[in-house]
Structure 1
Amino acid sequence: MTRAKLLAGLAAALLVAGAAAEAQQQRRPMPENARVYIIWPPDGAVVRGGFWVRMGLSEGGIAPAGVDKALTGHHHLLVDTDLPPLDREIPNDRNHLHFGLGQTEARLDLPPGKHTLQMLLADENHVPHDPPLMSKKITVTVVP
């Protein structure tokens, strides 16, 4: 590898690291008394097959992903997983469900057994607020 290519690669890496650090520094605030919570199902519920999850937020607003509006965010549902790093974009996979259209309820189809659910609110870029708004982790049992 030539020195020029090595330096170009190093410069690109520094730009990416700088952008990531800037994104971490620009986490959005929410009101101190804001709270996110799971309305339904309750902790310990036994649910059948597909069921609806209802998500709540008090003292803040819901806005779709990509909409830059103060004191708002959108819901993410963590299924059978722990909290992701709270200073980075929330992953988007089967354990980290994004509701970027501003949805406040969703139908879940989980296999039979015990499952954990936890809400995490994030800004227009899917990054948790500062301080982060998360619900209590609950457990539900899905039966056929």
Structure 2
Amino acid sequence: MACGSEPAEPEPAAEAEEAEDAEAAAEEASMDMTPGVFVIAPEEGSTVSSPVTMEFGHEHFTIEPITDPLTVHEGAGHHHIGLDTDCLPVGEIIPQASPWVHFGDGSNTIEMQLEPGPHRVCLQIGDGEHRTLEGMSAEVTFTVE
């Protein structure tokens, strides 16, 4: 407060500095190129009918089909889901057996018949050798009616 009862006017320099700080923070956030993977559907906590449509997304990463022979390409891999199981630690090879489903063709959707009740899906990206990658997993829980 200034002398008297009127509030002091903000200093123009302080306002300009705050605006510059906000702009810099927004620019830094938009430049984040960290690779990531996420579940598009079903949504966390949702109730769905069977067959369940599952869809996955990614950013700053290349999803590609596996090759024969298996080849690891930096910054690339493919989706895997584990149904009602925990995600695997980084660096482990994802089993090619239940409860895991491999998307070796590079796709990002699947329809699955699931029993009624609660379910949990672990989405993990594996490299060309099906090895889990740092920061490339996501989980979602949902209920089938």
Shift of 1:138: 1.5
Retained in 2: the 8 A contact 1:44–1:139? yes
Q: Which amino acid aligns with 2:137?
A: M
Q: Which amino acid aligns with 1:139?
A: T
What are the equivalent positions in structure 2 for 1:71-110 lying under 5 Å apart?
Answer: 71-110=75-114
Task: State whether structure 2 residue 118 is matched by structure 1 residue 114.
Answer: yes
Number of equivalent positions:
111
Shift of 1:56: 0.5
Q: Distance in 1 between matches of 2:129 and 2:120?
A: 25
Q: Which amino acid aligns with 1:62?
A: I
Shift of 1:32: 6.1
Deviations 1:8-54 (A, max 9, x none): xxxxxxxxxxxxxxxxxxxxxxx960110001110011111102100
Q: Distance in 1 between matches of 2:80 and 2:142?
A: 17
Q: Distance in 2 between matches of 1:88 and 1:128?
A: 6
What are the equivalent positions in structure 2 for 1:1-144 lying under 5 Å apart?
Answer: 33-66=34-67, 67-129=71-133, 131-135=134-138, 137-143=139-145
Cα RMSD after superposing both structures? 1.7
Deviations 1:75-113 (A, max 9, x none): 011210012243221012222111111011111111111
Q: Distance in 1 between matches of 2:33 and 2:104?
A: 23
Return the TM-score normalized by structure 2: 0.70
Retained in 2: the 8 A contact 1:50–1:107? yes
Q: Which amino acid aligns with 2:86?
A: D
Return the TM-score normalized by structure 1: 0.71
Query: What corresponds to 1:28 in structure 2?
Result: none
Q: Which amino acid aligns with 1:50?
A: P
Q: Which amino acid aligns with 1:134?
A: S
